[in-house]
Structure 1
Amino acid sequence: MAQATVQHESSSVVSSSEIKGVIFDLDGTLVSSGLDFSIIKAQVGCPHEQDLLTYIDNLPSPYMRQEAMHIVHQHELMDAQAAELLPGVRDCLETLIDMSIPMAIVTRNYTKAAELKVRHCDIPIATMITRDDAPAKPDPTALLHIAKLWHFNAKNCIYVGDYLYDIQAAHNASMRACLYAPECVPAYASEAQFVMHHFSELPRLILSTQ
């Protein structure tokens, strides 16, 4: 398996700094997800081109926000019950544990569904921040909280995710972004420092910075 692809050169300071901690997205990165956002948006009245959570936050009344979020929660809970660990994740996480690399999860999912996925898939990561705990990505608050918790400079952390918001959140936190793209590589992949096609690449990527 080829090593993770470097999409563009970082500054000499960033490229030479050691990766000491790894933060993961959850849905589509560590576990499978069948959430159909086009259906969810249609049910809550969100225009296709708008961000779902932002749309709900901006609804004019608490009742409307509550009703819309209830619909989202129902979809997330159903999705959580069907979630499965993605290929290579188990071996990768065990290797990172052996390497004494601290790990955390930052997800736009809500806590109950996220905890169900972690428990159901037996993911050995204790630290997780959901949208109930901090502003949703691409806001960097959750990522910066994790770095502070670990007493690491943000540049010594890498955020691994499968979507544009993950890349943007990493950049907003001054962390390196690793896009997980097992099949099709999207156009926005060029915005990430690394593109990973299989989880076996991640430990090698970390070792290359040490």
Structure 2
Amino acid sequence: MAPLNLSPLKFQTDTLMLQASIPPLFSRALFKSISTTITMSLQSTSKPIKSRLRGVVFDMDGTLTVPVIDFPAMYKAVLGEDQYLSIKSASPSGIDILHHIEQWEPSKQQKAYEVIADFERQGLDRLQVMPGAAELCGFLNSRNIRRGLITRNVKLAVDLFHERFGMSFSPALSREFRPYKPDPAPLLHICSTWEVEPHEVMMIGDSLKDDVACGKRAGAYTCLLDETGRYDSPEYANVEHKPDYKVSSLDQVHSLLESNFDLTP
């Protein structure tokens, strides 16, 4: 027996042929009711089932807060001009400065951390919340979606962010939590604390090498915040971890979540 073809186009053609041959005694109203039911069934099965989303984890610098740290200048101050250019050319998705420092001997490490801390302290004086962050947090609150934070910045910066802008994220993991991004450990820790599965969580950040890599390695959905379109450059075409979604502002995340996920509490 040939397989049953239930495509909407085939069904419509067959319906017209069958309707023309219906005996007068057969209720055309009943036939119409049956055909309408089947059509609605076909339409409903063609709609994709949305995945449930129970939590969103954010990066801080460059995602929840406006970028204020001159990272290229910081990398050059730590690595030196030549080593910076060498590492940058070999790492298209970005430089993991903390990883490089960990390989150094203790006294050299200490000097590097002091340079980084100085850049971070200067950044704290200019800390500003990212446009759309407060509104997005309000939307997540209205849907009872949990909010977490993972940053490679220090706890002092996280505490100042919470105090200055009145937004709370829990857990909020800073550089003191090891291993840090792009290792999936901090995100898996948050999922465990929330008692949810990684595939029920989204990681949002502005870094392919840290945020997207962390999210993908953990098994979570990922959204890359790319305000300037820098990641559209060909040099990022073949990176290992690519985001599930990409936005140019936090204002776009609201509709992205509603369109693609089941936000039922």
TM over 0.5: yes
TM (normalized to structure 2)?
0.68
How many residues are paired up? 195
Matches within 5 A, 1:102-141: 102-141=146-185
Question: Per-residue CA shift, 1:54-110, capped at 9, x if unaligned?
Answer: 1111112x2221221111111112102211011111111111111111001001111
Contact between 2:229 and 2:248, CA under 8 Å: does it hold in 1?
no
In structure 2, distance between residues paired with 1:96 and 1:191 = 24
Contact 1:83 1:121 in 2 (8 A): no
Letter in 1 for 2:101: I
Matched, 1:158 2:202: yes
1:52-131 alignment, distance < 5 Å: 52-60=97-105, 62-131=106-175
Match of 1:24 among 41, 55, 58: 58
SS of equivalent to 1:23: strand
59, 66, 71: which is aligned to 1:37?
A: 71
Alpha-carbon contact 1:160-1:179 (below 8 Å) kept: yes
Greater Rg over alpha carbons, structure: 2
Cα distance in structure 2, aligned partners of 1:89 and 1:41? 28
TM-score (norm 1): 0.85
Structure 2: stretches of 5+ with no match in the other structure:
1-48, 88-94
Task: Render the CA deviation track for 1:167-198: whole Å, top value 9, x for unaligned.
Answer: 11111000011011233251348911111223
Unaligned runs of 5+ in 1: 1-14
Q: State the Cα distance separating 1:136 from its structure 2 match.
A: 2.1
- In the alignment, the residues of structure 2 paired with residue 42 and residue 197 of structure 1 have an alpha-carbon distance, to the nearest angstrom, of 28
Local SS of the residue matching 1:186: helix
1:19 deviates by 1.1
Q: Distance in 1 between matches of 2:150 and 2:131?
A: 20
Q: Which structure is higher in RCO with an 8 Å CA cutoff and minimum separation 6?
A: 1
Contact 2:223 2:243 in 1 (8 A): yes
Q: Distance in 1 between matches of 2:118 and 2:161?
A: 14
Quote the offset at 1:130 in angstroms.
1.0
Which residue in the other structure is 2:187 paired with? 143
Distance 1:134 1:206 in 2: 30
